[in-house]
Structure 1
């Protein structure tokens, strides 16, 4: 995210400068200038402030974000719908292996799944 922001700021600064002081009077950056940023994937689980995250979080932010490293190193991005964690199959729940979502243990009868290989250890889940 930071490299894309840096490229945008350089482009914006250059655009303002060139519009105020053009070298030849008509040398401006193209109107359709775009910055291409490589698609980066969220890394799950990741550790941030000594806590392990298996999905996007709003910790310290008003918007959901994820780390791009297993150990957070200030490389992050805001989460889009495709970035949120997916169900992990097969997973272990109460020492039994599940290959699909289950309602077992659900207080409201909704299907749920684990976000890690072993729910018994990590206790991370989401509705299916």
Structure 2
């Protein structure tokens, strides 16, 4: 069990002791080692921010990548972490053909990629697999 911490204050001449919630440092250290900090709610992909649709985390107006927690951004957001990035959407349409898995087709670097929306031809949103 984690130790309890408290604050001893003198307020209006009367001693007051405020007890703080316990902190589990082992949990935080373990989560950091996994590359994750408390994940919180998931990103809402795709999301709309200033009339533009985002299919993945963005650094628009920020030094770090972030995502909206709502499909239409209303001020709720978080910094993207390892598990927050957009997932591939299968099946997806590319070149009027349906793909069920990642593909090298159309890749200049010959790396596998996938669409982040059901129709790459319309949305042009993608990532490497």
Smaller-chain TM-score range?
Answer: 0.7 to 0.9
CA RMSD of aligned residues (A): 2.4
**TM-score of the pair, normalised by structure 1:** 0.76
Q: 2-side partners of 1:99 and 1:93: how far apart?
A: 11
**How far off its partner does 1:38 sit?**
8.8
User: Residues 40 and 62 from structure 1, CA distance in 2 versus in 1: closer, same or farther, beyond 3 angstroms?
Assistant: same
Comparing 48-57 with 20-29, which one deviates more in the overlay? Answer: 20-29
Comparing 19-28 with 93-102, which one deviates more in the overlay? Answer: 19-28
Q: Which structure 1 residue ranges, 5 or more long, are not aligned?
A: 1-14
Stretches (4+) displaced over 4 A:
none
Q: Which structure 2 residue ranges, 5 or more long, are not aligned?
A: 1-5, 25-37
Higher normalized strand content (fraction of residues): 2
Q: Matched residue pairs, number?
A: 110
Matches within 5 A, 1:1-128: 19-21=8-10, 25=15, 27-30=17-20, 32=22, 39-128=40-129
Q: 2-side partners of 1:74 and 1:45: how far apart?
A: 15
Superimposed CA distance per residue, residues 63-84 of structure 1 (whole angstroms, 9 cap, x where no aligned partner)? 1110011110001111111110
**TM-score of the pair, normalised by structure 2:** 0.76
Higher normalized helix content (fraction of residues): 1
Q: 1-side partners of 2:118 and 2:63: how far apart?
A: 29
Superimposed CA distance per residue, residues 98-126 of structure 1 (whole angstroms, 9 cap, x where no aligned partner)? 00000000001000000000000000100
Q: Is the 8 A contact 2:8 2:16 kept in 1?
A: no
- What SS is found at the alignment partner of 1:120? helix
